[in-house]
Structure 1
Amino acid sequence: MDGFQFEYRCAELLRNRGFHKVSVTQSIGDQGIDVIAYKNGKKYGIQCKYYSHTVGNKAVQEAYSGAGFYDCDHAMVMTNSTFSRAAKELAEKLDVQLMEGCPSNDISGAMYKILRLTNSSILILEAFIFCGSFLFQYPELSLPGYFLLTLTFLAAISSLPGWHKLFFSFFSGTLYLLIFLLLIIPGIFYGNLNYWLLFSILPVIFSFAHVFFLQRDLDRSDEERPVKRKEKRKISRLGRLYADALSTQLKVPVTFRNGQKTEEGYLFEYDCCCSDIQLIHRAELYLNKSLLNRYDLQMTDAGLSLIQHDRKNFYHR
């Protein structure tokens, strides 16, 4: 999958969440907005980011300005990854909605639609059975009957909120399998099997097929994990190296807190008690003169933040 395909995946996901008039903008000159959608009478401008690393605040800025260009009421950024702390803070300030962890596999396709329809139908049928049993005593349910209905309710309801989570999908499939065995085994044992009960295997098949496709997508992402671990070690090493350099320049202890890769480069956060703006500016000049990359050093409420811009991104601006 590439970024262009992910835009259409996000559009389908928005439709499943109640948005209408969802359209993907042209790929060239889209002003930072990839999808236009409407909900509750409001127009949304959405930017889609298909990344293997954290999304920074640049995406939030582009979505905010692009939404204004398209006369949208709200701006949104959707990604298969996560957002940096700076991006979340900026989004809260600019009232830009963030949606992270958007599934990149074909969950919105036929398999998920079949599974969603099956679970919704089961929940509606159970509601009629419960109402009929309590109000009209029909059908008359025994204790085992209530137990099976409770298991079925848990199986159906657990898959609806967790349709993109492997655990919930597997849990739902396991419950459906247990229900199928409880329905079939007594009939086989006593020789009076009702063959209509064999249809209860369908939710089992749909649920575990859904688990299979989820697992396949996770396996693909696992191939990138060794690269991510290597990246984390690199970030940690650079963060400590820059902490030593900043401590020397600022004449105060600087402790590396965390770091992450963003679309702008690398973002490092430090604990530091220095509040001298001029001293911080001189330290930033020292880094830019002494090292190969371009650096932005800023004072934050929690200490200091250092952005190491990728040389490729910087020189192509």
Structure 2
Amino acid sequence: MENIGYHASHEQIDPATLLRAVVSAEQAGFTAAMCSDHFAPWSERQGQSGFAWSWLGAALQATSLTFGVVNAPGQRYHPAIIAQAAATLSQMFPDRFWLALGSGEAANEHITGDRWPDKAVRNARLGECVEIMRQLFAGETVSHQGLVTVDRAKLWTRPDTPAPMIGAAVSPETARWVGGWADGLITINQPHDKLRQVIDAFHAGGGEGKPIYVQIHLSYANDADRALEIAFEQWRSNVFSPPVCWDLELPQHFDEASRFVRQEDMHASVLISHEPSRFVDLLSELATLGFDGLYLHHVGQEQQAFIETFGEKVLPHLKGI
């Protein structure tokens, strides 16, 4: 497993600190990176939300890592603007940038004041955006009338190779659909039987032979109680399954919804331990499911101890798998 990535969480860490963290991550042995693209955090305790696209240019210049970004074109972002942004980064940093495209969350998209569509409409809108972006990457002049509108758009600056468009999916149903249009799949850590269903569905939908990545939320500290406290303090607003996580709009809504989450509930969505060897075992098991890359997200706001410890005691063991 050569592709061990570092996830940069803009909702939790200010962009200047996060830039220093990703530089440290490369020095520690991480071989790739990805980041979120939010307008607001999930919780007031997280307290940040820098603009991912400004940060990506700096991060690509400051490191030699490949970078992905999770993005939802169609409401907050017009697909032609995302195509232009992706084309510019890919022209400056060839073969180092990819997009992970999803149907979005109201927490970010509500700011436009437009109606928040149901999931079926959001998927259809995303499908239109993907087709529009592929045409733009190919140098076509695009006009489109549908769930999104485009009027004679053309990308005048394009890279030799366009950024891959990776589909983001959590359920087998979405993964099957993604297999028909995406250049790869990214999902999140779940019980292994569910992950196998997601992988199988992606393959069945047309994704056979395409790369598959998984993002893993984890909490590390040198003390077991502290590792659990970090997960609970920072990530208890993120334990909710769809449609709750899709449809809540404000950090205060997520904080209210998480009032009754208990510390012991965190283990269902976050790998929590004070022992690096435990993470080696857990991540090694995930690697054997057939993923082409693991992207590790330490859910704490302080990143350096995680980066240094994993660089010394975890990553070397994973790279031999």
Which is helix-richer, 1 or 2?
1
Normalization by structure 1: what TM-score?
Answer: 0.22
Q: Which entry has the higher C-alpha Rg, 1 or 2?
A: 1
Normalization by structure 2: what TM-score?
Answer: 0.22
